[in-house]
Amino acid sequence: MKKFARFAVAVVALVGAAWLSHGQAPRERADAPPPQTAKPRKPQMSDTIKANVYADNWFMLYINGELVAVDSIKFIPHNVVSVDLLPSYPMTIAVLAKDNADPKTGMEYANTNIGDGGFILKFGDGTVTSASWKAKRFSWGPVGHDTKNPKVESIPLPDNWYAVDFDDSQWSHAKEFTEEQVNPKQTYFDYDFKGAKFIWTDDIDLDNTVVFRTVVKTAPDGKVRQDFTNLNNTVPDGPPKKPKK
Ligand SMILES: [Ca+2]
Ligand SMILES: [Ca+2]
């Protein structure tokens, strides 16, 4: 009986070892071929994401150091700019936003009114504006709400404010504002901004030129997307070349 028990244990061990070996995923086995890398291909529109942007009153948008959108209307009517983007992560987003303001008085409508700003953005990958973004003002006025003797203060915009490696670590975070505070026009409601927050620097009335920056490390919606950044360094899915004779 003892002999049979030892035999049974040995058989179970052998079968178990064989099963374990068989059950291993092929790429985990030493003799398996390396996993195939994705073949370079040309990007298609299905690889892009939609960017919806609304600014009171104007913006320019840089992604990874490249200019990708400029608001085509400086002042009114307030418009939504909707463009296609080919995303690449990490994604550095930098925005120059301006409230409509006379550069000498900080006011609008023939220097009779202090206008307010506001900026909101949503990308098809789930990227949205929020207080997690960095923000800094570069021009503000009329200082102290003094409309009788209006003065504007400004600091120069750094040359590389939109660059990926620009250091914004000392900047404050953006402040979120409600829809009621910004009071966007109807066109805003015709586009998808769900989950995005209106942002500006601290004073939505007096701060007239501001810069926002953020880095989106991975796609917020979790979708894995091919990176086409170095497309010009490869020959994507072209027909095989004829061998030279
Ligand atoms: Ca203003
Ligand atoms: Ca405005």
Domain residues of the chain, as ranges?
Answer: 45-216
- Report in angstroms the alpha-carbon separations of 241 from 38, 40, 41, 42, 235: 20, 16, 16, 17, 11
The answer to which of 34-43, 100-109, 220-229 has the lowest mean pLDDT is 34-43
Tell me the C-alpha distance between 198 and 193, whole Å.
Answer: 10
Residue with tokens 């995303």: 87
- pTM, whole model, 2 decimals? 0.81
Q: Write out the two tokens for 156.
A: 């120069």
Residue 182 pLDDT class (50, 70, 90 cuts): very high
Tell me the C-alpha distance between 69 and 45, whole Å.
Answer: 17
SS3 233: helix
Residue with tokens 């066109």: 187
Residue 26 pLDDT class (50, 70, 90 cuts): very low
Kind plus residue range of the DSSP H or E element containing 180 = helix 179-182
| 58-73 confidence digits (pLDDT tens) | 999 999 999 999 999 9
| 83-124 confidence digits (pLDDT tens) | 999 999 999 999 999 999 999 999 999 999 999 999 999 999
Any idea which ligand is nearest the CA of 117? 2
Q: Is the pLDDT of residue 217 over 60?
A: yes
Measured in Å, residue 164 CA sits from the centre of ligand 2 at 28
pLDDT, residue 6, reads 59
Q: What is the DSSP letter of 112?
A: T
Return the CATH number of the domain spanning residue range 45-216.
2.60.120
Measured in Å, residue 10 CA sits from the centre of ligand 1 at 84
Measured in Å, residue 193 CA sits from the centre of ligand 1 at 23
Measured in Å, residue 69 CA sits from the centre of ligand 2 at 19
What lies within 8 Å, CB to CB, of 89 at 6+ separation is: 216, 217, 218, 219, 225, 227
Mean per-residue pLDDT, 167-187: 97
pLDDT, residue 4, reads 53
SS3 165: coil
What does the buried/exposed string (b/e) look like for 95-134 if buried means 16 or more CB atoms within 10 Å of the residue's CB?
bbbbbbbbeebbbbeeeeebbbbbbbbbbbbebbbbeebb
Q: Is the pLDDT of residue 25 over 60?
A: no
Q: Write out the two tokens for 148.
A: 């009788």
Q: Is the peptide bond before 150 cis (omega within 30 degrees of 0)?
A: no
Measured in Å, residue 66 CA sits from the centre of ligand 2 at 26
Measured in Å, residue 107 CA sits from the centre of ligand 1 at 6
Average pLDDT, the chain: 88
